[in-house]
Amino acid sequence: MELMVLNRDFESFYYIDNFKSIIWTDRYSGYGDFKLIVPATSGILEKLQEDLYLQLGSSNDLMIIEDIIVNTDLNGEIYAEVTGRSLESILDRRIIWSMTSLNGNFQNSVERLLNENAISPSDSNRAIPNLIFKRTEQSDITKLSYDVQFTGDNLYTAIKEMCEYHDIGFQIQRNSDGKLEFSLYTGVNRSYNQDINTYVVFSPTFENLLSSRYEKKKSTYKTITRVGGEGQDDVRKYEVTSIAKAPINGLDRREIFTDARDVQSKVDDRVLPDSEYRSLLRDRGMKNLNENSYSQTFEGEAEATRMYIYGRDFFIGDIVQIRNEFGMEMVVRVTEFIQSQDTGAISSYPTFTALADQEIST
């Protein structure tokens, strides 16, 4: 595995050719991370410094060196454990400074959060150098809407939650001009549910599915929520949000309360229209319902160096087909890709997460 250290100007200056192990994980919706263990010498510790970058030849992500621990084992051998996260983690260094109410187009809302808190904030000290927003024309993203209100939330966490709500990925990559380019994206559908792209199928039949886990969970399932907004007692504002348009009754009705008193109708000097405020309450309720949904998951790890090769036949965010030994079949998204090397043995494999709102077919 080709592993290079870059300085703070993103210039490579040191090739790491002697390490005990490394685990490198790229992710679809959120930052990736790494863990590197190397023999500790004064020379290598001078090269592996906090806030420098690591680049793996087989990954598009850059990682930031954040933590370094030096350990001595029982045999007297000294190792440095170096860990960090990918460029997306720089958003974790900012909060949403002012109360912000977002209503309407999803991509515009994400861009506004970044502009106001990291790209061109009113306080220039808060700007992240060279960070830019690259708009996408993917219709799966441009058609989306989102209503939410934030006050003091962590910027990374807010954007991650927004993207997870719509199953959208995001990334920060350094472009040819040296800019740190933030973009939203979705993967390519390579499942049986389409007839444009070549199918990618992972199954024991093809000897490319290493492990799988099928789970059905209904214990925390909720179908309707009463959302309490601002105000006290009789003047408190309430909304009701349901997973279905038709009334839900009997044993199918599973209720939960959502406390949304932090959602305010006055943002700076602007008073939100009642319809917009109530839309914010309903969206907060739906977020709570999504966190307490009926889940069917089909996760797995696959061999990705022979039949279907990562980076050629499929990529992070792509939608593929997975089928286990019992004929259980589902459409899943590639949400992680893990590369590791330990005592000379190199392995790499994707992990999958089932798409929402689908039934397991058998």
DSSP annotation string for 140-154: HHHT-EEEEEESS-B
Cα distance between residue 239 and residue 246, in whole Å: 16
Q: What is the pLDDT of residue 358?
A: 63
Per DSSP bridges, beta strands 12-16 and 53-56 are: unpaired
Position 304 confidence tier, pLDDT thresholds 50, 70, 90: confident
Better pLDDT: 306 or 362:
306
Confidence of residue 324 (pLDDT cuts 50, 70, 90): confident
Mean pLDDT of the region 343-360: 78
From residue 68, alpha-carbon distances to 36, 43, 87, 194 in Å are 10, 15, 18, 46
- Beta-sheet pairing, 270-271 with 266-267: antiparallel
| Percent share of the chain, pLDDT over 90 | 74
The 10s digit of each residue's pLDDT in 6-15 is 999 999 999 9
Q: Does residue 344 surpass a pLDDT of 80?
A: no
Element of type H or E holding 228: strand 224-228
HSE-up of residue 242 (Cα within 13 Å, Cβ side): 9
What percentage of the chain exceeds 70 in pLDDT?
Answer: 98
Give the full edge-to-edge strand order of the sheet including 180-185.
131-134, 180-185, 169-174
The pLDDT, as a whole number, for residue 321 is 93
Among 351, 258, 240, smallest CA distance to 302 is for 351
Mean pLDDT confidence for 219-244: 94
As a three-state string, the secondary structure of 111-133 is HHHHHHHHHCCCCHHHCCCCEEE
| pLDDT at 31 > cutoff 90 | yes
Q: What is the H or E stretch that residue 159 is in? A: helix 155-165
pLDDT above 60 for 332? yes
Q: Is the pLDDT of residue 360 over 60?
A: no
Q: Which long-range contacts (CB under 8 A, 24 or more apart) does 115-123 make?
A: 117/155, 118/90, 118/91, 118/94, 118/155, 121/97, 123/97
Question: pTM (2 decimals)?
Answer: 0.87
Q: Over the stretch 174-184, which tens digit does the pLDDT of each residue have?
A: 999 999 999 99
| Residue 236 CA, distance from chain mean position | 35
Q: Longest Cα pair distance anywhere in the chain, in angstroms?
A: 70
User: pLDDT band at 303, cuts 50/70/90?
Assistant: confident
Q: Residue 139's pLDDT band (boundaries 50, 70, 90)?
A: very high
- Among candidate residues 358, 349, 357, the one with its CA nearest the CA of residue 58: 349
How high is the pLDDT of residue 246? 92
